[in-house]
Amino acid sequence: MSENPFKIIRPADRPPETLRKDVMGSVRLMMLMMRFMQLFVADWSATVFENVRVLKPVRDTNDPEQPTDP
C-alpha cells in the first residue's frame, strides 16, 4: 500500500529563530500589563491579549458564526 499522501505533505519547516525571542518578550510585557490591569479591569486576560497581539482582530459584522476562541 502506498504511503498516506497527507503525511508526505506535512510541513517540515522549523520555526524561525526570532520567534522565541518575540514570544518571550511579549509574554514579559503581558505579565507587566496583567499585574497592572488586574487592579482595574474585570477581563484582564482579553484586554492584555488585544494590546500585545501582532495580527489585528477580524471583525465581520455580517457573520455571526465566527469560530470562538476558548
What residues line the site for other proteins (CB under 8 A)? 2, 4-16, 19-20, 22-24, 26-28, 30-31, 34, 45-46, 48-49, 52-55, 58, 60, 63, 65-70
| Cell reading at 45 | 486576560
Write down the least CB distance from residue 63 to other proteins, Å: 6
Residue 56, CA distances (Å) to 12, 14, 20 in order:
27, 25, 20
Residue 35 Cβ vs other proteins, minimum distance, rounded to whole Å: 9
Question: Closest Cα partner for 34 from 50, 53, 20, 47?
Answer: 47
10 Å Cβ neighbour count for 48?
A: 21
Nearer to other proteins, 10 or 39 (CB): 10
Q: How far is the CB of 50 from other proteins (least distance, A)?
A: 9
